[in-house]
Amino acid sequence: MKAIVVEDFKKTPRWMDFKDPIAGPDELVVEVAASALSNLVKAQSNGTHYSSVASFPFVPGADGVGKLSNGTRVFFIAPKRPFGAMGEKSLVHKDLCVPVPDDVSDETAASIANPAMSSWAALSHRAKMVAGESVLINGATGTSGRLAVKIARHLGAKKIIVTGRDPNSLDYLRSIGVDEVISLKQETSLLSAQFREAISRDHVSVVLDYLWGSSAEAIIDAIGGKGSHHNNRPIRFVQIGSISGHTINMPASALRSTGLEIMGSGLGSVSDKDLVQVIGEALKVATRADLKVDYVTRPMTEAENVWNQDFGNDRLVFTRP
């Protein structure tokens, strides 16, 4: 078959010949239609993600959309190495694929799966949010954060508070129904005070953090300074991304003096089987809940030329040529 192939962490992946996958027990060969180039896939392909494996060559792609031999259209995750999702064919365990509804296109399913998974899994499987709770989304101006707003609303969030830096993006978030926006472009002490007021006033009990770094420190400081239980439930802080830094300074008292629960959501903290079920749930309501992101498509044959291209807020979806 043909596939996008990673030959070395320092080389740009390119379209070339690759061996065909052969299904073993409980495995399925998928005829791939589309696969999105997420930050996760880029990091796995250049060796900077914690799940990267230096075994070359391999086909990148953590998830995709395609058809099984019986014609069923499916979304799949965690293809068996070295057969990632960015080839004409991929190899996946039978439990790691779910049907794609007829009202969701291949490209739409591929583009929303990863960002939808990040927030849906964080809310339902990690924080175990229930309808009526209030949610703070730290770093909501990116693709995943914007989708998290819609998913939190769909799952029954009472109030949604978001943070970000770009004024235009914050205005957009207002237009899709968030209850409050907090600009991160202010002094740390003022930011902590604004977080403390919002958490107390709106009884925030779930925090989704896409940033880490100083803004996460400010949120934790605000929680520690104003209690950490609302409606008899502790505040659950779910760490998803680290755009603003990989480490923070956190005083021990932030944990000893509160009921704050800090956890992560990502590969390893949620099982692959649970993740694919999460995506299946999101795809079922994608049209009704307006779960969509801006994306551009390119054939897999152009991988070498567009892999490192900046498409702004648009997600790049590779399609089979």
What confidence tens digit (pLDDT) does each residue in 143-157 have? 899 999 999 999 999
Quickly state the pLDDT bin for 52 (edges 50, 70, 90).
Answer: confident
Beta-sheet strands, E only, within 159-277: 160-164, 180-183, 204-209, 229-230, 233-234, 236-239, 261-264
Enumerate the β-bridge partners of residue 109. Answer: none
CA pair distance 195, 215, nearest whole angstrom: 10
pLDDT of residue 288: 93
Is residue 24 over pLDDT 80? yes
Burial class (CB in 10 A: 0-12, 13-18, 19+), 288: exposed
CA trace torsion 111, 113, 118, 124 (10° rounding)? 140
263-313 pLDDT tens trace: 999 877 888 999 999 999 999 999 999 999 999 999 999 999 999 999 988
Q: Which residue has the tokens 């209690």?
A: 227
Quickly state the pLDDT bin for 198 (edges 50, 70, 90).
Answer: very high
Quickly state the pLDDT bin for 261 (edges 50, 70, 90).
Answer: very high
pTM: 0.87
CA pair distance 264, 245, nearest whole angstrom: 15
Is residue 225 over pLDDT 60? no
Enumerate the β-bridge partners of residue 63. Answer: 77
For the chain, what is the mean pLDDT?
Answer: 92
Quickly state the pLDDT bin for 20 (edges 50, 70, 90).
Answer: very high
pLDDT of residue 53: 83
> Which is higher by pLDDT, 256 or 208?
208
pLDDT of residue 228: 55
Quickly state the pLDDT bin for 124 (edges 50, 70, 90).
Answer: very high
Mean pLDDT value across residues 7-21 = 96
Phi and psi of 43, rounded to 5°? -70, -40
Buried b / exposed e over 95-108, threshold 16 CB at 10 Å, is: ebbbebeeebebbb
Quickly state the pLDDT bin for 229 (edges 50, 70, 90).
Answer: low
Mean pLDDT value across residues 193-197 = 93
CA pair distance 301, 316, nearest whole angstrom: 14
72-93 pLDDT tens trace: 999 999 999 999 999 999 999 9
* Region for residue 95 given its phi and psi (left: phi exceeds 0; alpha: psi -120 to 50; beta: otherwise): alpha
pLDDT of residue 54: 80
125-181 pLDDT tens trace: 999 999 999 999 999 998 899 999 999 999 999 999 999 999 999 999 999 889 999
